[in-house]
């Protein structure tokens, strides 16, 4: 799988831009704040329908414009090739097309392209709040499973309705019997999410642990586990999880009424990361946290490949600048050469000269792109 061309209209700093990419290594060079990261972001947007840099879609629209558009042409070995398109307006409304056909739901675009992005902010996923790790799970599993996208959307709607009802009941309005209605929906959608999260983490755990050991010369070892807000046995069926979640929601109703919010479910779950027997988030050094983040992302490539049958597009945003030479060499060895890689760097001299021999090199400056070498 690789993306052959991306066209941008009024996206970030670009008014009109069309870029061709090769199937191997593509290097975006240029000074900082010229648009390199925005190009990588646009590819990830086509894969997931979301930016990895902001939760506010309006920030993607060029200043003083009303609509932003991204179009990508994708070549795939396991399925027919595709042209995918997303347009975003100032209200936040998204319009998506696949092969020129307009889709009624954004989720119908997700999964047409698979991509893994590495950026300097990845360390926040490890040392930050659980919300960041849940977002990581939601974005990555969505690329492989339309069922997950539907379950996540249904769960989000039901959760909003249940929380609104809890606040109303706390203030003396609303119908208490409606809680059971929303609990049923949360149990159905939530169990589907939790089952797929558990399976995804199971695949991620072994590979990421092996990669972490490789990055640290086997001096340290990492463990990854899914931390659920219910007692959830490994290998539990979706039906078992649904029953356990329903029981837990029922048991927590009084507490939820007091607080005015839902205290249990996949929106409260987390990914637990441990190095040498201790929490990386709470006690890990910055170096351990960064290695853990990189190991997770590198493992994600293998996990996505196992799901979709071909290597996802790999997007590297300036991460080499934050690593020593030994780790840069290891990441280059693990990430590049597997499939298409699009790398953004202000210092191409830091890259291995051998890796650059057959690369497509593109210079980005002030909203324009010039091909330097193919």
At 274, which CATH number?
1.20.1050.90
pLDDT of residue 320: 57
Please enumerate in sequence order all residues whose Cβ is within 8 A of that of 90, keeping only pairs 6 or more positions apart, or say none. Answer: 58, 61, 66, 67
Same domain, 236 and 179: yes
Same domain, 217 and 324: no
Q: Give the structural domain span for 157.
A: 123-307
Same domain, 132 and 99: no
Same domain, 293 and 147: yes
Nearest in space to 19 (alpha carbons), one of 63, 81, 73:
73
Same domain, 162 and 250: yes
Nearest in space to 24 (alpha carbons), one of 363, 355, 364:
355
Last residue of a domain, one of 272, 307, 342: 307
- CA-to-CA dists, residue 36 to 197, 276, 285, 297, 320, angstroms: 32, 37, 29, 20, 15
The residues that bridge with 103 in the sheet, in sequence order, are 96
- Contact predicate 3/81, CB 8 Å: no
pLDDT of residue 317: 87
How many structural domains are present in the chain?
2
Same domain, 179 and 326: no
Same domain, 75 and 5: yes
CB atoms within 10 A of CB 188: 17
Last residue of a domain, one of 278, 307, 336: 307
Edge-to-edge order in the sheet of strand 368-373: 115-119, 313-317, 341-345, 25-29, 360-365, 368-373
The torsion defined by the Cα of 54, 56, 60 and 61, in degrees rounded to 10, comes to -160
Same domain, 300 and 188: yes
Nearest in space to 153 (alpha carbons), one of 107, 218, 92:
107
Same domain, 355 and 216: no
Here the CATH number for the domain that contains residue 370 is 3.40.50.300
pLDDT of residue 159: 98
- CA-to-CA dists, residue 27 to 22, 331, 334, 358, angstroms: 10, 16, 17, 11
Same domain, 183 and 256: yes
Last residue of a domain, one of 307, 324, 343: 307
Same domain, 212 and 133: yes
Question: Which residues of the chain are under the pLDDT cut of 50?
Answer: none
Same domain, 179 and 286: yes
pLDDT of residue 324: 67
Nearest in space to 162 (alpha carbons), one of 147, 148, 176:
176
CB atoms within 10 A of CB 38: 22
């Amino acid at each position: 799988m690789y993306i052959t061309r991306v066209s941008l209209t009024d996206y970030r700093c670009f008014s009109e831009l069309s870029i061709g990419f090769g199937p191997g290594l593509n290097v975006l060079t240029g000074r900082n704040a010229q648009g390199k990261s925005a190009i990588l972001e646009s590819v990830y947007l086509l894969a997931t329908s979301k930016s990895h840099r902001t939760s506010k879609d309006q920030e993607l629209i060029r200043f003083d414009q009303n609509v932003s558009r991204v179009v990508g042409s994708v070549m795939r070995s396991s399925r027919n090739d595709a042209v995918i398109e997303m347009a975003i307006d100032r209200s936040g409304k998204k319009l998506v097309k696949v092969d020129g056909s307009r889709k009624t739901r954004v989720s119908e675009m997700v999964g047409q392209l698979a991509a893994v992005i590495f950026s300097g902010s990845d360390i926040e996923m490890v040392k930050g709040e659980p919300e960041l790790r849940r977002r990581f799970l939601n974005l990555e599993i969505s690329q492989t499973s339309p069922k997950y996208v539907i379950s996540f959307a249904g769960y989000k709607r039901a959760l909003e309705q249940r929380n609104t009802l809890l606040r109303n009941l706390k203030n003396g309005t609303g119908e208490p019997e409606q809680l059971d209605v929303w609990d049923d929906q949360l149990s159905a959608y939530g169990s589907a999410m939790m089952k797929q999260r558990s399976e995804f983490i199971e695949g991620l755990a072994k590979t990421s642990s092996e990669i972490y050991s490789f990055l640290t010369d086997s001096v340290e070892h990492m463990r990854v586990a899914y931390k659920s807000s219910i007692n959830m046995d490994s290998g539990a069926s979706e039906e078992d999880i649904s029953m356990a979640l329903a029981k837990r929601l029922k048991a927590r109703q009084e507490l939820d009424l007091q607080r005015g919010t839902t205290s249990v479910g996949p929106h409260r779950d987390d990914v637990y990361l441990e190095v040498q027997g201790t929490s990386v988030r709470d006690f890990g050094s910055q170096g351990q946290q960064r290695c853990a983040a990189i190991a997770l992302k590198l493992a994600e490539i293998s996990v996505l490949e196992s799901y979709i049958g071909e290597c996802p597009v790999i997007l590297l945003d300036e991460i080499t600048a934050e690593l020593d030479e030994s780790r840069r060499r290891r990441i280059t060895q693990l990430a590049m050469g597997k499939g298409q890689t699009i790398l953004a760097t202000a210092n191409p001299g830091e890259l291995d000269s051998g890796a650059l021999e057959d690369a497509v090199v593109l210079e980005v400056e002030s909203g324009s792109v010039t091909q330097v070498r193919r």
